[in-house]
Amino acid sequence: MAGATQAALDADIRLRVGKSLLRFNTCGSVDDGKSTLIGRLLYESKALYDDQLAALEADSKRVGTRPGELDFALLLDGLSAEREQGITIDVAYRFFSTARRNFIVADTPGHEQYTRNMVTGASTADLSVILVDARKGVLTQTRRHSYLVSLLGIRHVVLVVNKMDLVDFSEATFRAVEEEYRKFAAELGLPAVTCIPISAVRGDNVVVRSAATSWYAGPTLMGLLDGVEVVEARLGDQPLRLPVQWVNRPNHDFRGFAGTIVGGRVRKGDAIRVQPSGRMSRVARIVTAGGDLDEATTGQSITLTLEDEIDVSRGDLIVTANAPADVAHQFEATVVWMNESPMLRGRSYLMKIGTKTVTATVSPLKHKINVNTLAKVAGSKLELNEIGVCQLELDRPIAFDPYEVNRDTGGFILIDRLSNDTVGAGMLRFALRRAQNVHWQALDVNKPARAVLKGQKPCVLWYTGLSGAGKSTIANLVDKKLHSTSRHTYLLDGDNVRHGLNKDLGFTDADRVENIRRIAEVAKLMVDAGLIVSTAFISPFRAERQMARALLGPGEFIEVFIDTPLTVAEQRDPKGLYKKARRGDLKNFTGIDSPYEAPQNPELRIDTTSLSPEDAAELIVAHLQQRGFLTPGTS
């Protein structure tokens, strides 16, 4: 071919590859005609080849539902099991393009038991197309799908009122459906809704404006898809979010941090912060195989090198230094359950968020959501396809943004540890305990350094047991023994702390929880300072002891259960408190009118009915010795 022609072809390719990408999903009830609509879009945008058309014609004759016509739905129902059932049972991805744009469509099924597939398809969509049958209007399924769309943060919704041919293209019918839907969409807070009257079977208002709907002045479906703004730009203007996916270390001279930018942009020389550690540095290079870049933006997969040699590993989040993400380990989240085994309170799951996998424990469900009425419903567990708001407690803090700010730093999946299944998907809403605006400042003299100086490994001996069980007595003995062998220790005693730090707290359940939270935080600081800390509090609730355990590093929390039966403790009654409680002069007394949740797997159990305080103290010191806390080293 002549050079001029090659140049023209080249120019044509350059024009084509400059197109943007829009991802959308479709949802609707069974028989609303989703597959037919997508088949129609593929057909009309000339995305089908002759052999695909030939196969479609053959399939239409063989199993088609409309004799003598092309059954576009057959293009999409890929798996043979589904063809026989005549329904779509999974997510199918389809591709087509127009002169302006390329499209990826996730076709998501309508019937109830596969809500998880719809959520899957919608999770990557920029826009959702929701179908209703003009004869049936807004159904329960329509509400469910719209709610899921709003939950997943999709900003553009197109309501396709399909099968207009079956209602004689009646404007009144269309307007009634539109009005009802807009009312519901407003309740959900869906920001942009467009309603289009369509007949997917005939093609009215799909690509070409229909003569049968002269009363309709809005866009055709294809016209809308072509013109709607993609939301990518919004994320590009936010602060940098780069989850570190892989550390690239081909040799001693190169240490790069590879990842996909999920928010903002990054330039050479930018000041960055690594979360959750809080360490700071500057971007030295943005490395790609095609040469270093000066700048990279949301959506690009890049490799960064930093000016300083700081500790960065997979799961960390690199962010703009002065606009960091929040760091927390307790959250309120909305969870969509996707597994036959229900989500249970107190159960722990693996949680994958960005490139990090942590352990998440589900605190009691705050409420479930009735997706038809949006009403909050009480419940203790989430069944397949149910949605609920719950608290999650992680085994360590993570950096995050609320889901509505950023899908990638706020969206997570839950994985069952035994089956390895993806059992839930969720969206972080906000951190609990007001940890949002405080960022951990990395200090140069750190825990290991201080511990080395003291010739010990820091830890917490967390004594728990009934009032009068002997916690303070034994803790005091242990502390004396450690001190006499030159260990650096501190004993946090229940009564002493209530004289100062916690003197504003009473003995209600809520105050007890806060009491323990403060103690745990103080103990954590003391461990950070390199001390062997003892805490002697009743600490009656399992959840709070678990919280204290989660605050500390692996192995640093040693739960010592001072196991004394209530009758024995009550007999001892060293402070006369049981007598007062029995008389009713003391409310909320543990063991009497407030519960004590005994530890299930304590590191140490001390039976005070068979062991003297002195022997108990010996046993505890021996345990510390055995586990290496009394010898120098880094913990």
Partner 1 sequence: MTLTHLQRLEAESIQIMREVVAETENPVMLYSIGKDSSVMLHIARKAFYPAVPPFPLLHVDTTWKFREMYAMRTRMAAESGMQLIVHVNPEALAQGINPFTHGSAVHTDIWKTQGLKQALDKHGFDAAFGGARRDEEKSRAKERVFSFRNAQHRWDPKNQRPELWRLYNTRKHKGESIRVFPLSNWTELDVWQYIYLENIPIVPLYYSQERPIVVRDGALIMVDDERMPLRPGEKPEMRKVRFRTLGCYPLTGAVESAADTLPEIIQEMIVARTSEREGRVIDFDAPSSMEQKKQEGYF
**CB nearer to partner 1: pick between 405 and 566:** 405
For residue 361, give the 3-state DSSP assignment.
strand
Q: How many CB atoms lie within 10 A of CB 535?
A: 26
d(CA 304, CA 265): 12
What are φ and ψ of residue 81, in 5° steps? -60, -35
Give 453's contacts (C-beta < 8 A, 6+ positions apart): 530
Residue 25 falls in which region: left (phi positive, over 0), alpha (psi -120 to 50) or beta? beta
**CB nearer to partner 1: pick between 215 and 246:** 246
CB of residue 437 vs partner 1: minimum separation in angstroms?
A: 26
| Length reported for the chain | 635
Q: HSE on the CB side for 385, CA within 13 Å? A: 12
CB of residue 80 vs partner 1: minimum separation in angstroms?
A: 4
CB of residue 382 vs partner 1: minimum separation in angstroms?
A: 15
64, 55 Cβ separation under 8 angstroms = no
617, 478 Cβ separation under 8 angstroms = yes
Nearest to 182 by CA among 196, 193, 197, 171: 193
**CB nearer to partner 1: pick between 119 and 394:** 119
For residue 353, give the DSSP letter.
E
**CB nearer to partner 1: pick between 172 and 289:** 289
d(CA 121, CA 420): 21
How far is residue 576 CA from its own chain's centroid?
49
**CB nearer to partner 1: pick between 258 and 568:** 258
Concatenated DSSP letters for 187-207? Answer: HHT-SEEEEEE-BTTTTBTTT
Round to the nearest angstrom and report the end-to-end CA distance of the chain.
72
Residue 353 bridge partners (DSSP): 356
CB of residue 211 vs partner 1: minimum separation in angstroms?
A: 30
CB of residue 611 vs partner 1: minimum separation in angstroms?
A: 43
d(CA 291, CA 249): 18
Give 579's contacts (C-beta < 8 A, 6+ positions apart): 573
Query: For the chain, what is the radius of gyration of the CA atoms?
Result: 31
**CB nearer to partner 1: pick between 227 and 633:** 227
d(CA 392, CA 334): 10
- Catalytic residues, which ones? 539
351, 413 Cβ separation under 8 angstroms = yes
The CA–CA distances, whole Å, from 505 to 314, 370, 501, 517, 580 equal 41, 38, 9, 12, 20
Tokens 């002697």 — which residue? 536
**CB nearer to partner 1: pick between 248 and 370:** 248
**CB nearer to partner 1: pick between 18 and 68:** 18
